[in-house]
Amino acid sequence: MSVLEWIGVDWGTSHLRVWGLAGSRVLHHAASEQGMGQLDRAGFEPALLALVADWLPDGQVTPAIICGMAGSRQGWVEAPYRAIPCTPLGGAIAQAPCRDLRLTVHVVPGLKQTQPADVIRGEETQIAGFLSRNPGWDGVVCLPGTHSKWAHVSAGEVVSFQTFLTGEIFALLSEQSVLRHSISGWDDTGFTEGAAQGMERPERLLARLFSVRAEGLLEGRDPAYARARLSGLLIGAELAAAKPYWLGQRVAIIGSESLAKHYAQALGTLSVPVTHHDATEMTLAGLAAARALLPHMERPCVN
Amino acid sequence: MSVLEWIGVDWGTSHLRVWGLAGSRVLHHAASEQGMGQLDRAGFEPALLALVADWLPDGQVTPAIICGMAGSRQGWVEAPYRAIPCTPLGGAIAQAPCRDLRLTVHVVPGLKQTQPADVIRGEETQIAGFLSRNPGWDGVVCLPGTHSKWAHVSAGEVVSFQTFLTGEIFALLSEQSVLRHSISGWDDTGFTEGAAQGMERPERLLARLFSVRAEGLLEGRDPAYARARLSGLLIGAELAAAKPYWLGQRVAIIGSESLAKHYAQALGTLSVPVTHHDATEMTLAGLAAARALLPHMERPCVN
């Protein structure tokens, strides 16, 4: 049986996911809802140990490599943003204070862009994972999610990036706005039509959202069509605004299967060549790449 | 002392406002949070009586004229939408069932538009009030709010209208999204700059929202500037999308003073001639106009 060598951690605002690894082999996996948003500084170590304590071998030091919001100012330890253009990983990896002597804790820094102002925390690790699997790749990486990110990658460096609130706005509108009364489920036709409308006339986005409700009231429009159309309108408008990114480029989408499929479908109608890569796989590959940057002495002392 | 002749009611999703009137003179005013959203059908009469019972003279029947969501399918009684083009008031006014013999209850119907699908409930009464004060007026009425409405009025009729979710999106983003950490207060400069950006490049709205957060993180941007800029970005994008309404027209803004001021300021930079009219005053004038359409026998029997 393989011996645990390191811990990989994806620590977002609302979730915590951990893996126990030997090289690139996953031995253990666990998750909790102890996201950064619910923890004060003293709460991070207990939240991590609650998931991994049973995995840790005694008599040796195991490194935990963390990406995501745990490195923000309100996180476990601040890992200051690195300024682009730069490789997705590099520079000083912040070490977080940890009382348990079986662990050393290392937090990957995010990236910042000055003009226009923008920041990334977590996605840089996924981009690094993607590049470790695809050395020498140039193009555009699209990471759809609560806050979608588009990043232009060239010669191994992130050259520019842009954040879109698309996923968060969809969640707010579909769960809490007046539109919630008219939408439920998913019908692909609604997505296709909404995305086409959103891409064609993104400047009319604010004017179109209420039609999702009005069509329900006046035409008895199917709620599954309506919900997918709302998603399409928003993603279509994102794609229109992201045109400087994808135009004339190949696009690697890193995300969950269902969301990536919708982006790929919409980009396909624009004849943009697209590949899809699993988000968790890229996170693990990126955390492994970050581990390789640690000083040698911090590697686990296994025989 | 004047004798109560009728009750005016503005019944929205989240609020209930009532006035006791003699002609156009307000004798009483009261309000509660018993909006349509919190009531089932049997709850409307008690909610109204809780505010007006003490005002009602015995031995006569007082009409209550209601505008707003109390006339929706989930309301007190459904007052079916009237199809535009039509006058803002007219057709059958729905009568709601009422056990208290001192009251008859009349609900103003909303308006509907088929292409593109859209609906109005409540604003038709404000438009009617405005027209009763400005007979023969042609132009565009802008009613900013949670759901902003733009309506083209010609020859006394509503010819077309459009709803924008601007106010609701601002509330969701500023109170519940990741942007909430970076915004608080109000700085006019932020509004002016955000509105200019929103009007100039509305298709980039989704790309710009996150910069409100990123500028706070990277540049220590003043939260008052940031919140006003967010409002400006959204209102600017609304104005860009509403261009078919205001272009070459005069615009009458019906709304609260602070919100109307922001719309007037942004429209002013586009050289659109604007006037401002108080929302409550227009509601009362519109309810009075609706009362004048009731059959004579339903007027109160005062000497």
**ipTM associated with this complex:** 0.89
Range A130-148 average pLDDT: 96
Buried b (16+ CB within 10 A) or exposed e, A257-271: eebbebbbbbbeeee
Q: Does the pLDDT value for residue B301 go beyond 80?
A: no
What pLDDT does A263 receive? 97
A172 closest CB neighbour out of B176, B238, B242: B176
Query: Do A169 and B176 count as a contact with CB atoms less than 8 A apart?
Result: no
Q: Residues near A220 by Cβ (< 8 Å), separated by ≥ 6?
A: none
Among A73, A120, A165, the strongest candidate for a mutation testing the B interface, having the largest count of B CBs within 10 A, is A165
Query: How would you class B163 by CB atoms within 10 Å of its CB: exposed for 0-12, middle for 13-18, buried for 19 or more?
Result: buried
- CA of A289, closest CA in chain B: separation in Å? 27
Q: Between chains, do B166 and A206 touch, taking CB under 8 Å as contact?
A: yes
Contacts of B205 in chain A (CB under 8 A): 202, 205-206, 237, 241
Q: Which residues, in sequence order, are CB contacts of A115 under 8 Å at separation 6+?
A: none
B35 to chain A, closest Cα gap in Å: 14
Residue B91 pLDDT = 83
Give the strand order in the sheet containing B25-32. B25-32, B16-22, B6-11, B62-68, B103-107, B94-96
What number is the average pLDDT over the span B194-201? 96
Residues of chain A with pLDDT > 70: what percent? 97
Query: Has residue B167 got a pLDDT over 60?
Result: yes
Reported as a pLDDT band with limits 50, 70 and 90, residue B92 is confident
Mean pLDDT along residues B166-175: 95
Entry field: residues in chain A: 303
Amino acid at B243: K
Q: At what angle do helices A223-241 and A205-219 cross, to 10 degrees?
A: 170
Q: How far apart are CA A133 and CA B231, in angstroms?
A: 43
| Per-residue pLDDT at A187 | 97
Label residue A297 by pLDDT band (50, 70, 90).
Answer: very low
Give the confidence band of A133 by pLDDT, cuts at 50, 70, 90: very high
Q: Is some CB atom of chain B closer than 8 A to the CB atom of A218?
A: yes
| Residue of A152, A218, A131, A36 whose CA lies nearest to B115 | A218
Asked whether the predicted pLDDT for residue B43 surpasses 50, the reply is: yes
Task: Compute the average pLDDT of residues A29-45.
Answer: 95
The residue-averaged pLDDT of B124-146 equals 97
* Residues contacting residue A238 through CB under 8 Å, at least 6 positions apart: A148, A164, A166, A198, B206, B207
pLDDT band at B299 (very low <50, low <70, confident <90, very high): very low
pLDDT for the residue A300? 45
* A296 against A52, higher pLDDT: A52
pLDDT reported for residue B298: 46
- Please give the DSSP secondary-structure letter assigned to residue A57: P
Q: What is the pLDDT of residue A1?
A: 66
CA-wise closest residue to B192 among B263, B245, B129: B263
Average pLDDT over residues B173-193: 95
How large is the average pLDDT for residues B92-106?
A: 93
Q: Which two tokens stand for residue B247?
A: 């272009």
Q: Taking CB atoms and an 8 Å limit, are A214 and B147 in contact across chains?
A: no
Average pLDDT of chain A, as a whole number: 94
Three-state DSSP state, A78: coil
Structural domains in chain B, CATH included, are 6-162+280-298 (3.30.420.300)
Flag whether residue A81 sits within 8 Å of chain B, measured between CB atoms. Answer: yes
| A303's tokens | 């025989």
Contacts of A166 in chain B (CB under 8 A): 206
pLDDT value at B145 more than 80? yes
Pure H helices in chain A: 44-52, 123-133, 166-176, 188-200, 205-219, 223-241, 243-246, 257-268, 279-292
Q: What is the pLDDT of residue A295?
A: 77
Query: Which residues of chain B does A177 touch, with a Cβ-Cβ cutoff of 8 Å?
Result: 165, 168-169, 172
Mean pLDDT of A257-269: 95
Q: How confident is the model at residue B1 (pLDDT cuts 50, 70, 90)?
A: low
Q: Residue A250's pLDDT is what?
A: 96
Cβ A2 vs Cβ A22: under 8 Å: yes
For A194-231, the pLDDT digits (tens) are 999 999 999 999 989 999 999 999 999 999 999 999 99
Where does the pLDDT of residue A302 fall: very low under 50, low under 70, confident under 90, or very high at 90 and above? very low
Which residue in B45, B21, B158, B24 sits closest to B96, CA to CA? Answer: B45
A159-168, B10-19, B37-46, B291-300, range with the lowest pLDDT: B291-300
Query: Which SS3 state, helix, strand or coil, does residue A303 take?
Result: coil
pLDDT at B296: 56
Order across the sheet with B274-278: list the strands. B157-164, B148-154, B139-143, B251-255, B274-278
What is residue B60's predicted lDDT score, i.e. its pLDDT?
93
User: Which residue in A has a C-alpha nearest to residue B203's C-alpha?
Assistant: A203
Residue B111 has pLDDT above 70, yes or no: yes
B112 near A CB under 8 A: yes
Average pLDDT over residues A226-252: 97
The pLDDT > 90 percentage for chain A reads: 91
Strand-pair category, A111-113 with A62-68: unpaired
| pLDDT tens digits along A61-97 | 999 999 999 999 889 999 999 999 999 999 888 899 9
* CA of A102 vs chain B CAs: smallest distance (Å): 34
Give CA–CA dist B106/B239, Å, rounded: 35
Q: Give residue A93's pLDDT.
A: 84
